[in-house]
Structures are given as C-alpha cells and as structure tokens.
Structure 1
Amino acid sequence: MSKLANDTRVFKIDTRIDVQNVRFTNRYGFNLAGHLYLPLNFDSTQKYAAIVISGPFGAVKEQSSGLYAQKLAAAGFVTLAFDQSMTGESSGPVRNVASPEIFVEDFSAAVDFIGIQHFVDRQRIGAIGICGLGSHVLTAASVDVRIKAVATSVMYDMADSMWKGLNNTKTAEQRNIEKQLLADQRWQDAEDGYPATGLHELPFDENNQSIEADKLFAADLAADADPVTTEFFNYYRGRAFHPRSINSTTAWTATTPLGYYNFPLQTHIDQIAPRPVLIVTGEKAHSRYMAEESYERLNNPKELVIVPGATHTDLYDQMNLIPFEKFVAFFNENL
C-alpha cells in the first residue's frame, strides 16, 4: 500500500486506503498537485468509476476535499483531490491568484488526468466542488460533457459574492468604491513589482468605509466577530489549520475580484441536463440561498438536499453531518 511522504492531511486518515501523490498539467501549462485515492481491494485490471474533487475556495487537498476523496474511495470509487492552480502545491509563479477561467479549466484537467488511467472507465467520471469551487464545478460541467454527474457541497458562487456581496447586500456606491480601490491597487502592484494580498470579499463598515486587511484571519479571533467569521476561523485557524491553505495563513491577491467581476460563473448551468446534478447544503449555512438559487436555475434531473442543523463549515468535515451516503448513492446510480 502506498503512503504519502510528509503526510500533512488534517483529517482522520483511513489507513486502509491507498493514496498517491500525482501531478498533471492543465491547458494553460500549470502543473497541478493532487492526491489520487484508490478504492478498497483495488484491482488494477478492473475499470472503476472516478470522481474529481476540489474546494473549498482557499483550501488545499489536505483539508476538506481530501476527506471527501477518502470517504468516496472507501465506497469503491477512484477519487482525485487536487489543489487549484497557483495555490497549495500546484504551480504558478504568482501565488494565491484566483481565476474563474483557470479554476474551471482545472476541473477539466483533472478529468483529463483521471480519464487516462487504465483502471478508470472514461464513461463514468463525476465531479464534486465544495464551497466556492462548487460554482466552478457547475460551470465546468456546463460544457465538459465528459463529466457525467456533478455534485456540490455548500455551494458558494464566488462571482456573485464578490459582485453583489453576501446576501446581495453590496450597493452600487460600494461597488464603485471597490473598483477605485482595485484600480489604485493595480498602480501600487505595478510600482512594487509584486501583488499585494487583500480581502477578496471587501466588507464595509456602518459609515460605508471599506475594511481592508492583508490576511483573511488574524492569529486570534476578535471578541466581536460575527458568527460566519467565527465559523471560518474555527475551521481554518483551528481544527483544520494547514500552512499551505490560503485561508489558514494569508489571503488572495488583492486584485482577485477583477476576474470575477468580468466573468460571472454558472451562466449556462441549465445546459448540464440531461446529466444529473446533486446540490447539498446546510439548513443553517449562510450560503444556503446560493445553493438554492443554483438549484432553481438547473434543469432536471436534479436533487437538492438540505442537511438539518448543519452550518456551512459543518459540511467541510463533520462526519455526523456530511451526507456521504447520499453522495455515494448519487454517484453509484449515475456513473
């Protein structure tokens, strides 16, 4: 059984599962880092269904996506958890840049890689996107018909959240303020010769002043932190801290919103049909409305699962709440 060298996964490891470090290239030339999980009692002479998995936005494969990959491998699938371009162990001379175009392509590149493995059936490849990568995986599946079934967990539309704000609260005035800040930041980055980090979802205070920072989370949680910030802090800075995770240690480049301003995600998700889609979210997730909006825009066959009592980050790693049996049943039926 293969073991990962310098294993830094932050979840409970199932020692029965064979996992291997792999590398593959997308069509832009970025070299992507992944963990390939092989099912129990793996037989290299057989053909398996496979699932590619990434997310959350700003996380690495050693966090939530790896947990999902491990659990689904235990259920009989070949799975691939991978780092997005310019993040984690994947390549990119400029680090921690988020791009809707490139991140969507990364899912297709993962399909390329897993589909050329001799033990994978190319006609039975699925995909999962967690949190912000959920909006990217739906976009990928819109045009990449090789993805035969697609699922999301606590799906979060990164383009909408940057342009409209959480719960669609960003005003036109705030958007103009932010565009000017982004313009000023470009001048600063050009003068410095390197990109600064900053908040990709810029908050505003009660006086309509932007709140800026060079890290998503400080070392300590502020006493007056809101519930959503507290939830993310407890995951990324607490129980699932990983030094390569953007959300655990730093922030995206400050000009990241520019790409998402210009290129909205999920424009053609109605075109995924007749391939099936599973949308999973939490009853108490602050992102729930995004998942429900996406579900309404999809054509059948589709299914929406709302997990009772679950918050957004509960579905990152809480084994008693993540409906793995639903994911397994969905992919068993459709791959």
Structure 2
Amino acid sequence: MAMAQDVQVSVIAEASQMKQSSIAALQDDTRVFKINKNIQVLKVVFSNHYGFDVAGHLYLPANFDSAKKYSAVVVSGPFGAVKEQASGLYAQELASRGFVTVAFDQSMTGQSGGARRDMASPDIFTEDFSAAVDFVSNLKFVDPEKIGAIGICGLSGMAITAASNDVRIKAVVTSAMYDMSESISDHYKGEYYTDEQRLIVKKHLAAMRDAEAKHGGLIRGAHEIAVDAEGKAQTFATMFPDKLPVDANPVIKDFYGYYVGRAYHPRAINSNTSAWDSTAPYGFFNFRLMDNIKELSPRPVMLITGDKAHSRYFSEDVYQKAAEPKKLIVVKGATHVDLYDQMDKIPFDEIDGFFRANLK
C-alpha cells in the first residue's frame, strides 16, 4: 500500500503544473466490475474546448515507472453509461497489459460538468475525446506520439469522428458500435423513417423545445423516437420499468440485465431509469458522425461486434465506408451487451495486439 501511495503522490506532483486539469486520489470507488488491485487508479478532471469539465479515471500499468514513456488509450461509452461501468473495465484491462488509460464520462453526464444535465451532443462528445488526448499527451510519462482511442457502443461514432480530424489519435477501436446520428435521425429499431414520420418526429422535438423553454428546465424524453400506426410520436420519461414483463424483447432484457442488474450505477442515465433530456436528439438530426470517416486513413480502425449482436450492421456498414487499413472482428456467440463486460467474449488479446502494432 505504501508503494501505491508513493506512486500516486509522484504522479499527482508531476501533473500539478498542467493547466485546466487536475489529478487526485480516488476516494470514493464505485466501480461496478471486478477490481484489479495491481492497477492504480486516480481521479482526473480536464476541460474540453467548450468549457465543460470532463471527469475521468486515470489507470496506471502494474509496476508503473514515472520515468518511462508509455502508450496511452482514451476510452468512453456506452451512450448513457459512466466510467465506472464498461469503459472503466476496458481501461483497467489495457492498463494491466501495459498501457496508460483514461476512462471518462461524457460532458453533461455522470460526474462531468454542465449545467444542463443528461443532454447529448455528437459535437461535444466528439470534442471530449480530443480533450482526453490533450490531457494524456501532456503527462510526462506518456509518449504523445502513441495515443489510441476506444469507443464503446454509442460513443464509437464520436471516437471515429474525433480521430478523423485529430491526427494525434493514431489508432481507433470500436466495440459493439452504434452510429448514434444514424440510429437517432434515420430510424427506430432498424426501421427507417418515411419522410412523413421524420416530419412527425421533428414536430415532436420542436414541441419539446418549446415546452422546455416555457418550463425553464429539463423534460425527460426518448433519445430514439418511434412513430406509432396512428402517426403519433412515442416517447418516455424513464429508460426501463421497475420490472420487465416476461415477454420483453430479448435485446431489452440484455440491456436491463446489465444496467439495472449486474452493472447498476446511480449516475448512469441507463441505470437510474430516467431518460435523456427530451431535446437530446436535435444535435443528431443536425450533424452526421461518419461524414469524414475516410479521412481517418492511413490511421487504422478495428471494429468489434458479435455474431448475435442486434447492432452488428452498424459495424459492418462502417467497415464498408472506411478506407484501409481496417479490420472487422465478429465474435462468435456474443450479443451486443456481452461486449460490455463479458471477459470471455471481449477480444482483449486482439485489442492489445492492434494497439501495440499501431502505436509505434
């Protein structure tokens, strides 16, 4: 324990000169996955270029030596999750393999800043990845030429978009990918909107904005909006019911088992059963995340999905759009949510090898 404390003091001291960021001991550990006691974790806060304070956890490799220069990986996702869930698990595992890693909460969610809470933005969430790179690239024990990014589920599109323009990110991995701009603005549950349905959804969003302006604050609502047979927009104020019906959709059961069950965390939007701000879809109608994907090349991307994942088509679609070098891994027997925390399904050996080969 004394050695761990000495390392923490050393890292905190070395980082004390960094502007617009802070590093401190992790006092209240609420991570929901199995903790590797050989990996030290520090609480960090850094600012993005929109002025939001982004909260994260900095993971240090086993036998950490502050005199060395390490490769680093920044991690976020899923959409509506927090760093104490899947992103922290990925960060911890890569730290156990020798990488310095940072798992972070998206702006306006979790412990990250923002007067407006539980709001989503493709632009700001993309900026959060670059802000995380700002932070790690200025740590004395990180080689700024060896930085990668991982986006899980709904943050995959932001990780790719950030890397398409931020050339400091040398390689990108996505896991259980969702392209949230396509998912929110083009279809619901895989069924694409007709022009008439899109107009109905836009009118619903306009009504929500007007209601929030009159109300003076957040009104909860669905981030993906269905249109029923009568032409009415369908929304909800909570992500999940207190108890799922016996005949619930298997995909919903999978999400519920993770967020409300084994990985429950009170700060996660998806766990605390409250929905997003009802106007959150606006940005995803305005901006598309994959427009510049070909500009990622020649930096590589690896997309990981499961052969049983309902989201598989997102990874396959992005794989077709991306230029070389690129790699698609389809994990046999894996559902979408399996890739959040099932250690026998997440291909960490391939992720490790990918970053080792490309962060050099």
**TM-score, normalised on structure 2?**
0.91
| 3-state secondary structure, aligned to 1:93 | coil
- Give the deviation of 1:222 after TM superposition: 2.5
- What's 1:261 paired with? 285
Of 188, 198, 202, which residue of structure 1 is paired with 2:221? Answer: 198
Q: CA deviation at 1:209?
A: 3.5
State the Cα deviation string for residues 102-123 of structure 1 (Å, max 9, x = none): 0000000000000000000000
Equivalent residue letter for 1:270: K
Contact 2:161 2:292 in 1 (8 A): yes
For each residue in 1:224-259, what CA deviation from the matched residue of structure 2 results, as whole angstroms up to 9, or x when unmatched?
321211111111111111000011111110011111
1:127 aligns with 2:153: no
Question: Over the residues paired in the alignment, what is the CA RMSD in angstroms?
Answer: 1.1
Contact 1:56 1:64 in 2 (8 A): yes
CA–CA distance in structure 2, aligned partners of residues 16 and 113 of structure 1: 23
Is the CA contact 1:55–1:129 (under 8 Å) kept in the aligned structure 2?
yes
Structure 2 residue identity aligned to 1:85: S
| DSSP-derived class of the 1:222 partner | coil
Match of 1:285 in 2: 309
- Tell me which residue corresponds to 2:209: 186
Deviations 1:145-188 (A, max 9, x none): 00001110011000000111132432222211111111111111
Question: What is the aligned partner in structure 2 of residue 14 from structure 1?
Answer: 36
SS of equivalent residue, structure 1 residue 121: strand
The answer to whether 1:149 aligns with 2:171 is: yes
Gaps (5+ residues) in structure 1? Answer: none
1:114 and 2:136 matched:
yes
Among candidates 45, 52, 59, match of residue 74 of structure 2: 52
Matched, 1:319 2:327: no
* Structure 2: stretches of 5+ with no match in the other structure: 6-24
Aligned mates of 2:290, 2:256 — CA distance in 1: 28
Query: Greater shift after overlay, 261-270 or 60-69?
Result: 261-270
After TM superposition, the structure 1 stretch with the greater mean CA deviation from structure 2, 223-232 or 58-67, is 223-232
The superposition leaves residues 74-117 of structure 1 with CA deviations (integer Å, 9 ceiling, x where unpaired) of 00000000001000000000101100110000000000000000
Task: Letter of the 1:309 partner, please give it.
Answer: G
Given candidates 24, 27, 38, the residue that maps to 2:60 is 38
Q: Is the 8 A contact 2:200 2:231 kept in 1?
A: no
SS at match of 1:61: coil
3-state secondary structure, aligned to 1:135: helix
| Structure 1 residue 307 corresponds to structure 2 residue 334 | no
Instruction: Tell me, yes or no, if structure 1 residue 227 matches structure 2 residue 250.
Output: yes
Which letter maps to 1:222?
P
Q: Is the 8 A contact 2:55 2:112 kept in 1?
A: yes
8 Å CA contact 1:161–1:168 kept in 2: the answer is no
Partner of 1:274: 298
Q: C-alpha offsets along residues 57-76 of structure 1, whole Å, 9 cap, x if unaligned?
A: 00000000000000000000
AA of the residue aligned to 1:35: H
Structure 2 Cα separation of the partners of residues 169 and 154 of structure 1? 20
Distance 2:247 2:196 in 1: 26
The one-letter code of the counterpart of 1:234 is G
How far did residue 208 of structure 1 move? 4.2
Partner letter of residue 202 of structure 2?
K
- Contact 1:22/1:36, CA 8 A, preserved across alignment: yes
How many pairs does the alignment contain? 335
Task: Check 1:208–1:229 CA distance in 2 against 1; reply closer, same or farther (3 A cut).
Answer: farther
